[in-house]
A = this chain, B = another copy of it.
Amino acid sequence: MSPRAAADDGRGSRRRHPTIVDVAERAGVSKSLVSLVLRDAPNVSDEKRAAVTKAAEEIGYRPNAVARSLVRRRSNLIGVMVSDLHNPYFTEVIDGIQEAARGSGYHALFNTGGRAAVEEDEALDTLLQLRTDGIVMAGPVLSPRRIAAVAASVPVVVVAKHSRSPAHDSITNDDRMGARIAVDHLVSLGHRRIAHVDGGRGAGSAQRRAGFLDAMDRHGLRSSARIVTGAFTEEGGRDGVTTLLGDRRGVTAVFVGNDLAAVGALDAFDDHGLRVPADMSLVGYDNIALAGLGHIDLTTIDQPRRDMGVTAVRLLLERHDEDRRSARHLVVPPSLVVRGSTGPPARIGSA
């Protein structure tokens, strides 16, 4: 009598999982044949195939991915470290990753670092020890050094954070261009005195600031461009606008660093009795779901986040399956989404 026949695992607990050998015994074939059938290889007789399938079904066999990855030395897993799951920006990227992974025979598994470097490090370590075939880092706050170190042992693609590292790939949107689009839109509506409440030291903030100035310049409005410091939070937007309104010189439109901050701005305008868009136009950035709510209805700059997720997986597979060695840093174009927070400037007060 085989030792396995001794039933449960001794702790009197949950019965051990059936293995390929159990299936083989029941079907009266070798374990190798079972393996072949389960991976549906050609050159297996219909008879045996049926017997194995039936036996597997009957005992509720479920392949052990652990043993499989060990011997194959690949897990078919894509690990995704998301810096912050609370940020709705990432959830759509995740959708794209999930979709692309499923479509290529991989499974995506997520992790989060709660915007803290130590935790991100731990999360990455888990992914690394699991021997995932590739790692996506969504908006990491980790140091470039550490990211490069991870990239030394597994393909890595960084999403939503600019990088020029030769060690890994990255994919970001063109923040400069996005800011320019926002300004162009406002100018086309007739605005001249436009302010920017920036995102402080947040990711992409510097580029958006540069794009803003750049665009104002092109329209010959450099002198009426105004920038105040904010942050990528509701509060950052509120404070920025408050500062701005303290000494505004006929500003009729504001481009805010991101949507969350724009909502804060909306709030501040409310407090000052300014109506949007009648008295003040407002443009955000990112097009998070929030911006589309009827009650907020924010004109904003959209990043093709889902596509970015899909592309991230593609980049990973190029490295893993096609053995690409050189780094690729992709920059995708953002686009304008016009909603109800922008309109022509009020006649009164226009210079």
User: What is the interface of chain A, defined by CB distance below 8 A to chain B?
Assistant: 9, 11-14, 16-17, 60, 62-67, 69-70, 73, 75, 85-86, 88, 91-92, 94-95, 98, 102, 107-112, 114, 122, 125-126, 128-131, 153-155, 234, 238, 263-264, 266-267, 270, 289-290, 293-296, 323
Determine whether the beta carbon of A129 is less than 8 Å from that of B65. Answer: yes
C-alpha spacing A92/B84, complex, angstroms: 11
Can you name 30 A-B residue pairings with CB atoms under 8 Å?
A: A9-B73, A12-B323, A13-B323, A14-B154, A14-B155, A17-B131, A17-B153, A62-B128, A65-B126, A66-B69, A66-B75, A70-B70, A85-B85, A85-B91, A85-B94, A86-B92, A94-B112, A95-B114, A102-B122, A108-B111, A109-B109, A109-B110, A234-B294, A263-B295, A264-B295, A267-B293, A267-B294, A270-B295, A290-B290, A295-B295
Interface pair B153/A14, CB less than 8 Å apart = yes
A-B residue pairs, 5 tightest by C-beta? A65-B129, A110-B110, A267-B294, A107-B126, A267-B295
What CA separation (Å) do A75 and B155 show in the bound complex?
24
- Contact status A112-B98, CB under 8 Å: yes
**Closest chain B CB from A293 CB (angstroms):** 6
A85-B294 Cα distance, complex, nearest whole Å: 22
Determine chain A's interface SS by DSSP, over half rule.
mixed
Q: How far is the CB of A104 from chain B (nearest CB, A)?
A: 14
Give the contacting residue for A66; candidates B16, B85, B130; CB below 8 A. B130
Q: Cβ of A293 and Cβ of B263 under 8 Å apart?
A: yes
**A86 contacts B75, CB within 8 Å?**
no
* A33: min CB distance to chain B, Å: 21
Q: How far is the CA of A14 from the CA of B168 in the complex (A)?
A: 13
User: How many copies make up the complex?
Assistant: 2
Partner of A234, one of B75, B114, B126, B293: B293
Q: Which B residues touch A266, using CB under 8 A?
A: 295
* A92 partner residues in chain B, CB cutoff 8 A: 86
Of chain B, the residue at the smallest CB distance from A264 is: B294
| Nearest CB in chain B to that of A289: its residue | B86
Kindly state the separation between the CA atoms of A270 and B112 in the bound complex, as whole angstroms.
38
Q: How far is the CA of A155 from the CA of B122 in the complex (A)?
A: 25
Residue of B nearest to A109 (CB): B109
| A222 CB to nearest chain B CB (Å) | 32
Complex contacts, A102 vs chain B, CB 8 Å: 122
| Docked pose: A270 CA to B293 CA in angstroms | 13
Cα separation A289 to B131 with both chains bound (whole Å): 35
Q: What distance in Å separates the Cβ of A111 from its nearest Cβ neighbour in chain B?
A: 7
Select one of B16, B66, B111, B129 contacting A110, CB under 8 A.
Answer: B111
Q: Which residues of B contact A154 (CB under 8 A)?
A: 14
Contacting residues, chain B, for A94 (C-beta < 8 A) = 85, 112
Closest to A123 in B: B107
Out of B88, B107, B294, name the residue touching A88 (CB < 8 Å): B88
Given A17-B153, A109-B111, A114-B95, CB of A63 within 8 Å of CB of B129: yes
Contact A66 B70 (CB under 8 A): yes
Contacts of A98 in B (CB 8 A): 112, 114
- A17 to chain B: closest residue by CB: B153
Closest to A75 in B: B66
Give the docked Cα–Cα distance between A23 and B231 (Å).
47
